Amino acid sequence: MARKSNPVKNSIDIISLGCSKNLVESERLIRQLEGRGYKVNFDPEAPCSEFVVVNTCGFISDAKEESINTILQLCQRKKEGRIGRIAVMGCLSQRYLEELKAEIPEVDLWYGKFDWPALVAQLPDLSGKTPPALWERKLTTPPHSAYLKISEGCNRFCAFCAIPGITGRHKSRPIEEILEEVKTLVKEGVKEFNLIAQDLSAYGLDIYGRQELATLVDKISDIKGVEWIRLHYAYPADFPKDLLDVMAKKDNVCKYLDIAFQHIADPVLENMRRHISKNETVELLKEIRQRVPGIRIRTTLMTGFPGEGQKEFEELLEFVRTQKFDRMGAFTYCEEEDTFAAKNLQDTIPQEVKQQRLDLLMDLQQKISLELNEELVGTIQRVLIDRIEDGVAYGRTQYDSPEVDPEVLINIKESEEENKEYVVDVKPGVFVNVKITEAYPFELLGEIV
Q: Model confidence over 375-390: pLDDT tens digits?
A: 999 999 999 999 999 8
Q: Given this model, what pLDDT does residue 422 score?
A: 52
Find residue 16's DSSP bridge partners. 55
CA 361 → CA 68, 223, 280, 367, 368, distances in Å? 31, 41, 22, 10, 11
Q: Give the pTM.
A: 0.91
Q: CA-to-CA distance for 100 and 91, rounded, in angstroms?
A: 12
**327 close to 405: Cβ distance less than 8 angstroms:** yes
Closest CA to 205 of 173, 160, 234: 173
CA 320 to chain centre: 23
Would the pLDDT of 421 be above 60?
Answer: no
Q: Given this model, what pLDDT does residue 417 score?
A: 42
- Going across the sheet that includes 85-90, the strands are 39-42, 8-16, 49-56, 85-90, 109-110
Number of alpha carbons in the 13 Å side-chain half-sphere of residue 344 = 9
Would the pLDDT of 415 be above 60?
Answer: no
Find residue 173's DSSP bridge partners. none
| DSSP-based three-state secondary structure for 409 | strand
Q: Given this model, what pLDDT does residue 414 score?
A: 52
**31 close to 137: Cβ distance less than 8 angstroms:** yes
The DSSP bridge pattern shows strands 171-172 and 296-303 to be unpaired
**378 close to 435: Cβ distance less than 8 angstroms:** yes
What sign for the dihedral angle of Cα 420, 424, 429, 433?
negative
User: What DSSP string describes 106-162?
Assistant: T--EE--SS-THHHHHHS--SS-SPPPPTT-----S-TTEEEEE-EE--S---TT--
Q: CA-to-CA distance for 407 and 439, rounded, in angstroms?
A: 11
- Residue 5 backbone zone (phi > 0: left; psi -120 to 50: alpha; other: beta): beta
Would the pLDDT of 5 be above 80?
Answer: no
Q: Model confidence over 76-129: pLDDT tens digits?
A: 999 999 999 999 999 999 989 999 999 999 999 999 988 999 999 989 999 988
Would the pLDDT of 425 be above 90?
Answer: no
* Radius of gyration of the chain measured on its C-alpha atoms: 23
CA 402 to chain centre: 9
Q: Model confidence over 239-282: pLDDT tens digits?
A: 999 999 999 999 999 999 999 999 999 999 999 999 999 999 99
Q: What are phi and psi of 158, to 5 degrees?
A: -60, 150
Q: CA-to-CA distance for 369 and 357, rounded, in angstroms?
A: 18
Find residue 228's DSSP bridge partners. 192
